[in-house]
Structure 1
C-alpha cells in the first residue's frame, strides 16, 4: 500500500501536526514531516480523530435488506467517520446462533468499508424465555463479546441474572434495552404534558429507570458487566451515577438524537420523530449532555435504525420506531457538546472511539493517533456548516429527523487500516 501524509491536522483538536501513514499503520506523527512518493492530504484547520466506533448499529441483514444491508450500512458508517460498528441481533433470523453471527461477520469482511462486530442475542428469538447460545457465539469466528436483545428488554430477572453469570466467564457484557414491557403497553411517545395534550399513549420514564436499577443491582450481585443502551432520562442518569459510585461495573450510552431533540417535535405527528426510547423533555436532554460531559454516560452510540419509506410514511400509530444516525452523529455531537463547550475534541474521541472500543473489545480500534498504531482515522472539517440532505445518504433508508436542518461539521476522509474509504466527502 502507498504512503499517505496528512499535513497540518489538529490531532484530537490540539496543535497542528503531520501524520504519516505507511501501509496499514501510522508510521510517524510530528511537524514538518515529508515522505518521498507519499500522497499528501492537506488538512490545515481540520481535526484528526481515531476512527469512530459505534456500539449500537442496526444493519438489518439478514432478513430486512429493504431497509439496509451490511454493505450499505458500512458505507454509511464510513461516510460518518466510523471504522468499526457493532451490529445488533434483531435480524431475521435473529442472530442467536454461531451460524448467523458468522454470516454477519463475513459480510462485514467482504464490504471493506468498516469492520463489523456482530452482537449476539441474549435469548432465543429475542423472546426472553431461554438463553441463546452465548458461549458458542463467543467461540465462533465472529468472537462475540456483546450480547443484547435490543428492541426488546430482557425483562425476566432470572434470565438476566443467568446471562450476566454466563458472560462473566469470558469477560463479555450484556447490553440492556431498559424497558419494562408492562409499563409501556401501547406506548407511542414520552409520557408527559405533550402526550396528554396529543392523546397518545405514554412511555413513562420509570419504565426505563426501574429496569436500570434492577440490572445494576444484579450486576453487583453477580460481579459482572452490564451496559445500558440508549439511556434517555434524567432519572436514569442518577441511577447510573449512584451505581458507579458503588463500584458497580456499569457503562451507559446516549444517542445523538436524545442529546438534541425533545418530545415537543411530536406535535407535528411526523413519524420521523417516533423512536424507542422516545424523545424526552428538555430537562432530560440537558441532564444527558451534562452526564456525557462528566463521564456518567460513557459513550455516544447511534442506534442507527433504518426503515423503508413505507414503514415511516404512514399514520403515527402504525409507523415503525427508529431513526438513521451514522451519517449525522458526529455533527450532532459537535452541535450539542463541542460548540456548547461541554466537550473538547479529545473528549469526543474518548466518547466516540476509545471507550466504545474498550467496552466492546474492538481490537485495533479506539487507539491513540501515534506511531505504530493501526491507521484507523477520521478527518473532520469542523468549520463547515450545511443542511442535511438525506438524498445524499449512503444508507439505503432516509428516515432522518434532521432533513433540512443546518448542522456543523463534515467528515472529509476516513481511513480503515490505511485504506481510504472516504475521500473529500465521497466514498471510494
Structure 2
C-alpha cells in the first residue's frame, strides 16, 4: 500500500501600485486595492470556491478516506478577509472535517529564511498564530516559501518545534535515491522530510492541458496506473502543487475538475493506494536515510535553487535594503508600519525582477505583471524608498515625544 500525500500551496500576492501612478512623498497607500480585489475575486470564482466545494464533497463521499493538506499564507488570509470572506468560510468547512491539515509557512510568503534566523522565526510565529486563530489548530508540519530548504533551514524549523517539513525532490540533491520515501534532516534527525515527486506533480500542475504532451489527455485511471506501477517504487507519493492549478492555471475547460473529481475513487478502488495528510504520512513511515542538503534548494526553475528571487544585482539590492530596515521597525513597534513591512517581504516582488531566459523565462513572464524586470525593480524601490522615509520620520517623532 502506497500513501498519496496531496498538498496545495495557497498564495495570492499583494500587487503594488505602478510607479507611474504612485506619488512619492505624498501617497503612502502602496497597494493597488482595485487590482487586488479584482484578482482575488476572479481566482475565488475560478479556483478557491469550486475546488473547496469539490474537496468537501470528495471527503464526504469517501467517508474521510480522502485527505489532503494546505499551507495558506498570511497575505492570502488577509485578502480572503478583505475581499472574499466566503472563501475563508469554505476553508473553515474543510478544516471542520478533520481530514485536512494546515501547515506552517512564513506569514508573508517571504525569503526570511535567507535573511536571518530572527526574521524567519518572527515570520513563522506570526503565521502560526494566524492559522490558530482561523482554524483552531497550531501547525506541526512546515512548508517554507517555494519549498526553500537546506540542512540549516531544516534545523531552524526543528528548533521551532515542527516535526515534519516539505522539500523538493531535486535530482542534484537526491542523486540515485527516490523522493518516494520519508527522509530525515542532516542536522536534527528528529525532523522528518517529505520530498516532492516533481514529475508526477508537474504532470497535473503544468502538463495536464498540453495537447502536445505524448500522454495527453491525462485521465484519473491513467494517472493511478502510473502511481501503482512497479516502475514507481517507494512508500509515499508526494504530490505538491499550487492550488491555483485548479481553475486558474488550468481552467475548467481543460477538464481539470473532472480529473480531480475522479482521482480519489480511482485511487482507492485500486486497493493499493491511500490518502493521508502530511503529518499522518510522516508518522506512518520511518525515515530511510538522512538527506544531505548543504546548499539552499527550492522547487523553482531548472536549477531548483534561489536564483528565481536572488539571482541578479537588482534582486540582491532590493533584498538587502529591505532587511536592513528590520532594526528600525523593531524600535518603532507600530502595527501600521509592521503591516507594510509584511507585504513588502513577499517573495513575488523579487520574482518579478528575475532575468531568466528560455523555458524558465516563459514561466516568469506568465506570472509577471510588469513589462520588464527593471520596471519591477523601479516600482518596488520607489515604494521601499518612500516607506524608508516614513519610518525615519516616525522614529524622529517618537524620539521627540520621548524627550518631552
- TM-score clears 0.5: no
Whose helix proportion is higher, 1 or 2?
2
TM-score of the superposition, structure 1-length normalised? 0.37
Bigger relative contact order (CA 8 A; separation at least 6): 2
Whose strand proportion is higher, 1 or 2?
1
